C-alpha cells in the first residue's frame, strides 16, 4: 500500500469519536434582498436571474459535497467501531489462551509462541471482514500477524512494511497508556485506521492491534461529474444570457435608431428577426401608418376649415366695408342732390362742408383698414415708462375732462425695451374706448407691472364703466364689431394685430381676476426685446 499523508488524529478512550458534521448549510433563503432597488431594465433582470441560478447551483454543489463528506464520516466511524471490536476480540482470545498459564515465559522469538499467537489472531479476526491485525511486543516487535479475510488468492502472512512504523507507534502508545489508542491517516483515495489495546497476562509488554482501510465513497467519481456538470451549466447559462442580452440590445438599438428618425411621419421600421420584437415592430408600423393617414386627413380638413374661415372673414370684412362706405356715399349723394335742387346759394356751401366731413370719415376708414393689414416691424428702444405713461395720459386728458373722467397711472417698472409708437397706438385705442364708456365721475387706470419672466411686460387699462356686454366678448376683437353706432369696429382689431406684431397678446381680463376697477379691464402682455437686439438705428 502506498504511504498516506501523515495527519494522525489521536483519541483516548475505549470507543473512538466520529468527526463533527457542520450543523447547518447555507441556503438560498439566507440571502436578504429587502434593500435592493426595483429592477426596471431587462439587463438587470437577466443578471438577477443568472445570479439566482448561480446561487442555486452553488447551494446544490455544497449540499452534494456535504452529503459526500457525511457519507465518508459515517463509513470511517463504522470502520473505527469495527477495528475496536476486532481488537477486543483479539484481547479476549488471548486472555482465553493464557488462562491457567503455568511455567516460565518463553522468549518472543519462540517459534511455537509465535504460531500460537498467530492462531489466536486468526480466530479472532475470522468473523471480521477486511480487518488485519496482530500482537506486538514492546521490545521484540511483531509476534503475530494475520489477515484471515484477505481478498487475494491466498492468505496474507507478511506484516505490511509500509505501515510498520505506524503500527509500532500505536502499540507503544497503548502499552504506555494502558488503554485503547486509535490512529487515523488520510490520503486522497482512502483512510488508514489503526487500533491498539494492551494485553494483560504472563507475557510482559504485549498489545493487540487491528487495522483496516476505508476507501473513498463509491460516488466520488459521480460527485465530481455532477459538480463539473453544474459548473458547465453555470458557464453555459452565463454565455446564453450574455448572448441573449447582446442580441436583444442590438435589436432594440435598431428599433431606437429607426424611431429617432421620426419627422412629420413615422418611418417604417425594419423587422429584427425576433418574433416578440417583430410583433412590436409590426404594431408600431401599423400605428405609424394610421397616424400618417389621420394626419393627412386632419391637414386636409384644416385646409378646408381655414379656407372656409378665410372666406367667412372675407365676407364679414367685405360686408362691413360695404356698409361703412355706403352710408357716407348715400349721405354725400343726398346733400349734393338737395344742393342742386335748392335755389338757396348758402345751401350748397353747407352741403359741400358735409360732403368733406364724409370724405374725412372715409379716409379714416381706409387708414384703419391699412393699419390692420400692415402690421409693420417693431423698433424697440429703451423707454422710461413713467414718462411714457405721463405723455400717454396727457394726450387723453382733454377728452377725459370733457367726459368728467379721472385718469390715473401706476408704474411698477422703470425702464423697458419696447417700440413706443406701436405700444402707444395700442394704449391710445384702449384709453379712448375706456374714456368713452365711463360715466361722469368715473375713473380710468393705466398700470404697468413686470411679467412672469424678465423679458415680459404687462399693461392693464381698466375703467369703472359698465364693462363689455357678454354678447360682444367673443367677437370684440374681430373687424367691424362695435357697440357704438358711430364706431367702425376696427380699433380693437388693430390693437390686437399690433400686439401680436410686438410678440405679445391683448385680451379682456376674465371676471374674477384682480382688477383695479369694476368695469372692463384689458391686459396687454408684451415681450421685451433683448438688449443685444437693439441696433444703432433704434437709439
Q: Assess whether 232 and 335 both reside in one domain.
A: no
- Per-residue pLDDT for 47 more than 50? yes
- Per-residue pLDDT for 21 more than 50? no
Q: Sorting pLDDT into bands at 50, 70 and 90, what band is 210?
A: very high
Distance CA 182, CA 76 (A): 12
Q: Assess whether 98 and 192 both reside in one domain.
A: yes
Q: Assess whether 357 and 432 both reside in one domain.
A: no
- Long-range pairs for 253-258: beta carbons < 8 A, 24 or more residues apart: 255/280, 255/281, 255/284
- Per-residue pLDDT for 34 more than 50? no
At 289-337, the pLDDT tens digits run 888 888 888 888 887 786 666 556 555 666 566 656 766 677 677 777 7
At 494-519, the pLDDT tens digits run 788 888 888 888 888 876 555 555 68
Question: For position 350, which CATH number holds?
Answer: 1.10.287.130
Q: Assess whether 232 and 122 both reside in one domain.
A: no
- The boundaries of the domain holding residue 313 are 275-371
pLDDT for position 399: 86
The percentage of residues in the chain with a pLDDT greater than 90, rounded to a whole number, is: 15
10 or 340, greater pLDDT: 340
Query: Does any domain span residue 228?
Result: yes
pLDDT for position 9: 42
At 455-496, the pLDDT tens digits run 788 999 999 888 888 877 777 777 666 656 555 566 787 788
pLDDT for position 218: 53
Domain end marker among 335, 352, 371: 371
At 416-427, the pLDDT tens digits run 898 888 888 889
Q: Which helix (H) or strand (E) holds 146?
A: strand 141-146
Question: For position 481, which CATH number holds?
Answer: 3.30.565.10
Q: Assess whether 250 and 348 both reside in one domain.
A: no
pLDDT for position 10: 42
Query: Does any domain span residue 12?
Result: no
The model carries a pTM of 0.38
At 136-149, the pLDDT tens digits run 998 888 999 999 88
Query: Does any domain span residue 41?
Result: no
- Per-residue pLDDT for 454 more than 70? no
pLDDT for position 461: 92
Q: Assess whether 161 and 197 both reside in one domain.
A: yes
Q: Assess whether 213 and 250 both reside in one domain.
A: no
Grid coordinates belonging to 61: 454543489
At 227-252, the pLDDT tens digits run 778 788 878 877 887 887 787 777 77
Query: Does any domain span residue 482?
Result: yes
Per the structure, the count of domains in the chain is 4
pLDDT for position 195: 94
Question: For position 211, which CATH number holds?
Answer: 3.30.450.20
Per DSSP, the residues of 446-510 read EEEEE-SSTTEEEEEEEESS----HHHHTTTTSTT--SSTT--S-HHHHHHHHHHHTT-EEEEPP
Sheet holding 141-146, edge to edge: 11-12, 181-186, 190-198, 206-215, 132-137, 141-146
pLDDT for position 7: 43
Distance CA 403, CA 398 (A): 9
Grid coordinates belonging to 278: 417583430
pLDDT for position 87: 93
Q: State the average pLDDT over residues 282-290.
A: 80
Lowest mean pLDDT among 54-63, 190-199, 220-229: 220-229
Grid coordinates belonging to 331: 349721405
296 or 266, greater pLDDT: 296
- Per-residue pLDDT for 534 more than 60? no
Query: Does any domain span residue 46?
Result: no
- Long-range pairs for 288-292: beta carbons < 8 A, 24 or more residues apart: 291/265, 291/266, 292/265, 292/266
SS3 of 357-387: HHHHHHHHHHHHHHHHHCCCCCCCEEEEHHH
Amino acid at each position: 500500500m502506498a504511504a498516506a499523508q501523515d495527519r494522525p488524529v489521536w483519541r483516548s478512550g475505549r470507543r473512538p469519536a466520529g468527526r463533527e458534521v457542520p450543523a447547518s448549510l447555507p441556503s438560498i433563503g439566507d440571502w436578504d434582498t429587502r434593500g435592493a432597488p426595483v429592477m426596471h431594465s431587462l439587463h438587470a433582470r437577466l443578471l438577477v436571474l443568472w445570479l439566482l441560478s448561480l446561487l442555486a447551483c452553488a447551494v446544490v454543489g455544497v449540499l452534494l459535497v456535504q452529503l459526500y463528506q457525511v457519507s465518508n464520516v459515517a463509513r470511517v466511524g463504522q470502520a473505527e467501531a469495527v477495528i475496536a471490536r476486532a481488537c477486543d476480540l483479539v484481547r479476549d482470545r488471548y486472555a482465553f489462551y493464557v488462562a491457567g498459564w503455568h511455567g516460565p515465559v518463553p522468549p518472543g522469538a519462540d517459534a511455537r509462541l509465535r504460531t500460537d499467537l498467530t492462531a489466536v489472531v486468526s480466530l479472532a479476526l475470522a468473523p471480521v471482514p477486511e480487518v488485519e491485525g496482530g500482537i506486538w511486543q514492546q521490545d521484540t516487535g511483531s509476534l503475530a500477524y494475520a489477515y484471515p479475510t484477505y481478498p487475494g488468492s491466498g492468505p496474507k502472512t507478511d506484516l505490511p512494511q509500509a505501515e510498520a512504523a505506524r503500527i509500532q507507534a500505536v502499540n507503544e502508545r497503548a502499552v504506555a497508556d494502558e488503554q485503547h489508542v486509535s490512529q487515523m491517516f488520510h490520503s486522497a483515495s482512502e483512510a488508514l485506521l489503526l487500533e491498539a489495546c494492551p494485553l494483560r497476562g504472563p507475557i510482559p509488554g504485549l498489545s493487540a492491534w487491528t487495522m483496516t482501510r476505508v476507501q473513498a465513497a463509491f460516488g466520488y467519481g459521480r460527485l465530481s461529474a455532477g459538480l463539473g456538470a453544474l459548473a458547465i451549466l453555470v458557464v453555459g447559462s452565463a454565455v446564453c444570457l450574455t448572448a441573449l442580452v447582446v442580441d436583444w440590445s442590438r435589436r432594440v438599438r435598431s428599433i431606437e435608431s429607426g424611431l429617432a428618425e421620426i419627422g412629420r411621419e413615422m418611418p417604417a421600421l425594419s423587422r429584427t428577426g425576433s418574433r416578440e420584437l417583430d410583433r412590436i415592430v409590426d404594431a408600431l408600423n401599423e400605428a405609424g401608418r394610421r397616424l400618417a393617414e389621420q394626419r393627412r386627413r386632419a391637414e386636409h380638413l384644416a385646409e378646408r376649415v381655414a379656407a372656409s374661415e378665410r372666406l367667412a372673414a372675407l365676407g364679414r370684412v367685405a360686408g362691413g366695408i360695404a356698409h361703412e362706405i355706403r352710408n357716407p356715399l348715400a349721405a354725400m349723394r343726398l346733400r349734393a342732390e338737395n344742393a342742386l335742387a335748392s335755389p338757396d346759394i348758402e345751401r350748397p356751401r353747407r352741403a359741400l362742408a358735409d360732403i368733406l366731413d364724409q370724405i374725412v370719415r372715409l379716409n379714416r376708414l381706409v387708414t384703419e383698414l391699412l393699419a390692420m393689414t400692415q402690421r409693420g416691424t417693431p423698433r424697440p428702444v429703451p423707454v422710461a415708462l413713467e414718462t411714457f405713461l405721463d405723455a400717454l395720459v396727457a394726450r387723453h386728458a382733454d377728452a377725459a375732462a370733457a367726459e368728467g373722467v379721472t385718469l390715473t397711472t401706476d408704474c411698477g417698472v422703470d425702464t423697458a425695451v419696447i417700440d413706443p409708437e406701436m405700444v402707444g397706438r395700442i394704449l391710445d385705442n384702449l384709453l379712448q374706448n375706456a374714456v368713452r364708456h365711463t360715466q361722469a365721475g368715473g375713473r380710468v387706470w393705466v398700470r404697468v407691472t413686470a411679467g412672469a419672466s424678465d423679458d415680459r411686460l404687462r399693461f392693464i387699462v381698466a375703467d369703472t364703466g359698465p364693462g363689455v356686454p357678454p354678447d360682444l366678448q367673443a367677437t370684440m376683437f374681430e373687424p367691424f364689431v362695435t357697440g357704438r353706432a358711430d364706431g367702425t369696429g376696427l380699433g380693437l382689431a388693430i390693437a390686437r394685430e399690433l400686439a401680436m406684431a410686438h410678440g405679445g397678446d391683448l385680451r379682456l381680463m376674465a371676471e374674477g381676476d384682480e382688477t383695479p376697477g369694476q368695469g372692463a379691464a384689458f391686459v396687454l402682455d408684451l415681450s421685451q426685446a433683448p438688449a443685444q437686439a437693439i441696433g444703432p438705428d433704434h437709439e
